[in-house]
Amino acid sequence: MNLWNPEHRLVLASGSATRRALLAGAGLPFETAKPDVDERAVEAATPDALARALAVAKALDVSIHKPDAWVIGADQVLSLDGRLIHKSRDHAAALATLAALSGRTHRLTSAFALARNGAVVAKESEHADLTMRALDEAALGRYLDLAGEGVLASVGVYQWEGFGAHLFERVEGDHSTILGLPMLKLLAALRAVGALTL
């Protein structure tokens, strides 16, 4: 018996290796397509609403070009005291972001949207609260040297599944939410549309 209903086709509207690994780890057969969405042009009143709006925009953009496929759009935003933090463009900006997060609790909000034939059929979000250890500039600089330039692709300048784990003293939230895709809610949505058999 197959986990996935072979009558359905699944597309991940993302270039994220971490999201691909989450879907593959759950045994889902999927293909990928990178959405063409200007993320800075999408606006919303709250971090939660922004994460969902970005996920919807990505799912719809790819769904139009992949008829009859279930398309997953996903996004994650980081907020500190309700203020959005954006990706760092260089080492200096990364150091400034880490210094702002040091010793404090920030929130990661991850969202997905499931679309088919240009219409959204499900959208959900989940959040995790992460408390970073209080680290001085020298320690943060050492971390950046160890982690490498790849962390600039992450909004919080860390990858929880790698060197980033060393930065934290407390985490509250689901592991997949921290990685950028709330899997339990996504799997529930896929079951609801008949794409999953388990």
- Structural domains of the chain sorted by starting position, each given as residue range(s) with its CATH number in brackets: 10-192 (3.90.950.10)
Residue 183 pLDDT greater than 60, yes or no: yes
Confidence of residue 39 (pLDDT cuts 50, 70, 90): confident
- What value does the mean pLDDT take over residues 33-38? 93
* Residue scoring higher pLDDT (97 or 149): 97
| Residues annotated as catalytic (active site), given as ranges | 75
pTM: 0.93
- For the stretch 107-147, pLDDT in tens is 999 999 999 999 999 999 999 999 999 999 999 999 999 99
Closest among 75, 73, 74, 76 to 119, alpha carbons compared:
73
Condensed to tens digits (0 to 9), the pLDDT of residues 77-87 reads 999 999 999 99
What angle separates helix 91-101 from helix 137-147, to the nearest 10 degrees? 130
Query: Chain-wide mean pLDDT for the chain?
Result: 94
- State yes or no: pLDDT of 1 exceeds 70: no
With 70 as the cut, is the pLDDT of residue 59 above it? yes
Q: Which residue has the higher pLDDT, 39 or 80?
A: 80
Buried b (16+ CB within 10 A) or exposed e, 116-137: beeebbbbbbbbbebbbeebee
Confidence (pLDDT) at 164: 93
Predicted local confidence at residue 42, as pLDDT: 87
Virtual CA dihedral for 63, 69, 70, 75, nearest 10 degrees? -40
Token code pair at residue 34: 């990178």
The pLDDT tens digits of the residues spanning 140-172 come to: 999 999 999 888 989 999 998 888 999 999 999
Residues 175-193, mean pLDDT to the nearest whole number: 97
Tell me the torsion sign for CA atoms 159, 48, 14, 86. negative
